[in-house]
Structure 1
Amino acid sequence: MGAVHGVAYKYVAIAAAASYGAYLSQPHSYARLGLGLVGATNSVIVVLFVADRGTQLLGKDAVTGKAPWYRALPWAGFLLPTWLYTYVHTLVGRVDTATEVAPGWWLGGRYADRAPGRPERWAGVLDLTVELPERCLDLCDDYLLVRCWDGAPPHLHDLERAAAFCATARRRGPVLVHCAHGRGRSTTAMCAALVRAGVCRDWRSAFEKCRRARPCVRLNKRMRAALDAWAEEYPSPVS
Structure 2
Amino acid sequence: MGLGISRLIGLKATVLFLAFAYLRGLGLTLLPVPLLFASVVDFLVSIASHPSINLPLFLGKSTDGILPLWSRILFGPFLYFVRIFGWLRRLRSKEPPYTEICEGLYVGGWPYSVDTLPPGDPAVIDCTCELPRSEVIMRNAYLCIPTWDTRAPQPGEIESAVGWACRKRAQKRPVFIHCAFAIGLHKMAAIVDLLKPGLVLFVGHGRSVAVMCALIVALGMAEDWKNAEKIIQERRPCIRMNALHRKSLEEWSKHRLSSKRTDELGVSSVILSAASGSSRSKS
Q: Does the pair score TM above 0.5?
A: yes
**Compared CA separation, residues 55 and 117, structure 1 to 2 (3 A):** closer
Corresponding residue of 1:147:
146
Residue-by-residue CA offset, 1:40-86 (whole Å, 9 max, x unaligned) = 111111111113432212111112x1212123211112111111111
1:42-121 aligned at under 5 Å gives the runs 42-50=42-50, 51-63=52-64, 65-111=65-111, 113-115=113-115, 118-121=118-121
- CA contact 1:153–1:226 (8 Å) conserved in 2: yes
CA distance in 2, matches of 1:138, 1:146: 16
Q: Please, which moves more after superposition, 131-140 or 91-100?
A: 131-140
CA distance in 2, matches of 1:217, 1:42: 26
Q: CA shift at 1:34, angstroms?
A: 0.4
SS at structure 2 position matched to 1:99: strand
SS at structure 2 position matched to 1:125: strand
Q: Please, which moves more after superposition, 108-117 or 37-46?
A: 108-117
Residue 211 of structure 1 is aligned with which of 209, 215, 233? 233
Corresponding residue of 1:16:
14
Residue-by-residue CA offset, 1:121-180 (whole Å, 9 max, x unaligned) = 11x11001000012142352x211011111111111111111111111122211000011
Q: CA shift at 1:112, angstroms?
A: 6.4
Aligned residues: 232
Q: CA shift at 1:181, angstroms?
A: 2.0
Corresponding residue of 1:25:
23
- CA contact 1:97–1:114 (8 Å) conserved in 2: no
- CA contact 1:194–1:200 (8 Å) conserved in 2: yes
CA distance in 2, matches of 1:91, 1:111: 15
Residue-by-residue CA offset, 1:68-106 (whole Å, 9 max, x unaligned) = 212321111211111111111122112111111111001
**Compared CA separation, residues 54 and 28, structure 1 to 2 (3 A):** farther
List gaps (5 residues or longer) in structure 2: 183-204, 261-283
List gaps (5 residues or longer) in structure 1: none
Aligned amino acid, residue 83 of structure 1 = R
**Compared CA separation, residues 75 and 206, structure 1 to 2 (3 A):** same
Identity of aligned residues (%): 25
CA distance in 2, matches of 1:45, 1:68: 17
TM-score normalised by structure 1 residue count: 0.89
- CA contact 1:167–1:194 (8 Å) conserved in 2: no
Q: CA shift at 1:30, angstroms?
A: 3.3
* Structure 1 consecutive aligned stretches of length 4 or more whose deviation exceeds 4 Å: 112-117
Q: Please, which moves more after superposition, 104-113 or 183-192?
A: 104-113
SS at structure 1 position matched to 2:245: helix
